[in-house]
A and B are shown apart, each in its own frame.
Chain A
Amino acid sequence: MARTARRLGIKVIAVYSEADAELPFVAEADEAVLIGPAQAAQSYLNADAILAAAARTGAEAIHPGYGFLAENASFAQRVIDAGLVWIGPSPDAIEQMGDKIRARNLMAGAGVPVAAGSAEPVSDAEDAIAEAERIGYPVMIKAAAGGGGIGMTVAADAERLRAGFETARSRAERFFGNPSILIERFIASARHVEVQILGLADGRVIALGERDCSAQRRHQKLAEETPSPGVSDKLRQRMMAAAIQAGEAVGYRGAGTVECLVDRQTGEFVFLEMNTRLQVEHPITEMVTGIDLVEQQLLIADGAGVSFDVGSVKPAGHALELRVYAEDSVRFLPSPGVISRWQEPAGAGVRVDAGYAAGNVVTPHYDPLLAKLIVSGVDREEALARTSAALADFVVTGPKTNLAFHAELLASREFATGDYDTSVVSRLRPLPGSSGDGRCA
């Protein structure tokens, strides 16, 4: 983000917590403001501190990135009320899509397919069971305000639903401050496919192809690719049309993602949720379209036209992204620590978006994402070969990483053939306590 802004001649002011003072993004920014201690509630989630930093530095706009307050409607409203430009959709669009039950109902009303599920929050375990009997088991239990897979469980019968409901509700309360739960029909074998949309300054909504994010652990994405090996041209056209309808239904502006599940048995897709922000995996779309999505966000926020010809976007080639996490390759447990060595791969089609460098400390306070390895090729075969080669050249010592797991994933028959679903990772790593239901938010 900072690099694109700079290229466009925009001065970049970063905010950071005490835990992140030594990280490259702080040094790279034109100016950086310390907004609080490591605890996110007092720094990255602290709207007052961020707005105060903006006022003090004379910032004109706020880009929320893709974590913390990026999908927080009241923060977006406060930014606007402070007379600043909010680089994102309207607070109203964020709010409408932020609640999964509301979003489901809105999408169904707009003609977008949704999974069979509750049209209202389920109030208690008995209510959940009644709802599940109507929908049919197995069902997915989800936090209405959720994200990141937190609180999601699959239940195959009433007993497991009762147990899962209580867990989901306490997590929803703790992580999202909202205990609302919804129940949806669980699709046994699905691909997680999302469509990138852009709401233009003139009100039009366009779709820029899809990303397959089926490779997940604990409902969180590990690897993504575009185009999806499991989506036909015909299905792609239908999904893009539905994603545009979804965006139009909320007057969407800026970059957003419409997440869907594609049922491998029926070949049909259903709306899952909309992410009203830029996604972590947006670079693969950039690789195949040649469009800098951050640049479009900035242009749209400024009320300007986009930098490319909307009528002639034609994705070419294939791109993959691997998320390099500070977690071990066997059990995927967090592994904070000091990075003693950091060596990034380079080469044709290789891009590394890294948040760390040698000497940095990976703290336990935030997400384990260290870097994104993004690789493109003329086709899937070339992209895969380049990714394997790049992976072999990526060296991180200190914290344990999942680099070794990625090599295994790429070499697995399922991933190599492209014929995989959201359980691909759990089949490679059958972990105690992790059901094979990889689904993500």
Chain B
Amino acid sequence: MTEIRAEMVANVWKVVAAEGDTVADGDTVVILESMKMEIPVLAEGAGTISRLAVAEGDVIQEGDLIAVIE
């Protein structure tokens, strides 16, 4: 199981993947936006997304959980 956490304060611009999706290493899970920059958050390793902890429009803090891949 790998947890994907936010590296910085950001707004969740787009949720690309959904719970239950199978993802490959490097697939985009969500796209964050901070300081006018789009920051794709990628899957670190292949697996299934067992949990998506954010929704579009959310403001997340550094260290917040974004998704869990099993």
Chain A residues engaging chain B, CB cutoff 8 angstroms: 148, 218, 326-327, 333-337, 363-368
The answer for the CA separation of A327 and B59 in the assembled complex, in Å, is 18
- Interchain CB contact under 8 A, B39 and A364: no
- Say whether, besides A218-B37, A334-B39, A336-B35, A364 and B9 are in contact (CB < 8 Å): yes
Residue of A nearest to B7 (CB): A333
Residue of A nearest to B37 (CB): A334
User: Can you give 25 contacting A-B residue pairs, CB < 8 Å?
Assistant: A148-B36, A218-B37, A333-B8, A333-B37, A334-B10, A334-B34, A334-B37, A334-B39, A336-B9, A336-B34, A337-B9, A364-B8, A364-B9, A364-B10, A364-B11, A364-B34, A364-B35, A365-B35, A366-B35, A366-B36, A367-B35, A367-B36, A368-B35, A368-B36, A368-B37
The answer for the CA separation of A333 and B9 in the assembled complex, in Å, is 11
Chain B residues with CB under 8 Å of A336's CB are: 8-9, 34-35
Most buried by B among A218, A334, A337, A365: A334
Chain A residues with CB under 8 Å of B36's CB are: 148, 366-368
CB neighbors of A among B16-65 (8 A):
33-37, 39, 59
Chain B residues with CB under 8 Å of A335's CB are: 8
The answer for the CA separation of A383 and B11 in the assembled complex, in Å, is 40
Residue of A nearest to B10 (CB): A364
Chain B residues with CB under 8 Å of A327's CB are: 35
The answer for the CA separation of A216 and B11 in the assembled complex, in Å, is 25
How far apart are A67's CB and chain B's nearest CB, in angstroms? 10
The answer for the CA separation of A326 and B37 in the assembled complex, in Å, is 12
- Interchain CB contact under 8 A, A333 and B11: no
The answer for the CA separation of A364 and B8 in the assembled complex, in Å, is 9
How far apart are B53's CB and chain A's nearest CB, in angstroms? 18
Given contacts A334-B35, A364-B11, A366-B35, 19 further A-B contacts (CB under 8 A): A218-B37, A326-B35, A327-B35, A333-B37, A334-B10, A335-B8, A336-B9, A336-B34, A336-B35, A337-B9, A363-B9, A364-B8, A364-B9, A364-B33, A364-B34, A365-B35, A368-B35, A368-B36, A368-B37
Most buried by A among B33, B37, B39: B37
How far apart are A99's CB and chain B's nearest CB, in angstroms? 21
The answer for the CA separation of A218 and B39 in the assembled complex, in Å, is 13
Chain B residues with CB under 8 Å of A333's CB are: 7-8, 37, 39
How far apart are B63's CB and chain A's nearest CB, in angstroms? 12
Residue of B nearest to A361 (CB): B9
The answer for the CA separation of A337 and B10 in the assembled complex, in Å, is 11
Chain A residues with CB under 8 Å of B8's CB are: 333-336, 364
Most buried by B among A327, A364, A367, A368: A364
The answer for the CA separation of A80 and B7 in the assembled complex, in Å, is 45
Chain B residues with CB under 8 Å of A365's CB are: 35
The answer for the CA separation of A363 and B33 in the assembled complex, in Å, is 12
Most buried by B among A337, A365, A367: A365
The answer for the CA separation of A327 and B7 in the assembled complex, in Å, is 12
The answer for the CA separation of A336 and B10 in the assembled complex, in Å, is 8
How far apart are B50's CB and chain A's nearest CB, in angstroms? 27
How far apart are B47's CB and chain A's nearest CB, in angstroms? 22
Residue of B nearest to A150 (CB): B36
Most buried by A among B7, B8, B10, B33: B8
The answer for the CA separation of A366 and B37 in the assembled complex, in Å, is 9
How far apart are B16's CB and chain A's nearest CB, in angstroms? 13
Residue of B nearest to A39 (CB): B11
The answer for the CA separation of A367 and B10 in the assembled complex, in Å, is 13
The answer for the CA separation of A333 and B7 in the assembled complex, in Å, is 9
The answer for the CA separation of A327 and B10 in the assembled complex, in Å, is 13
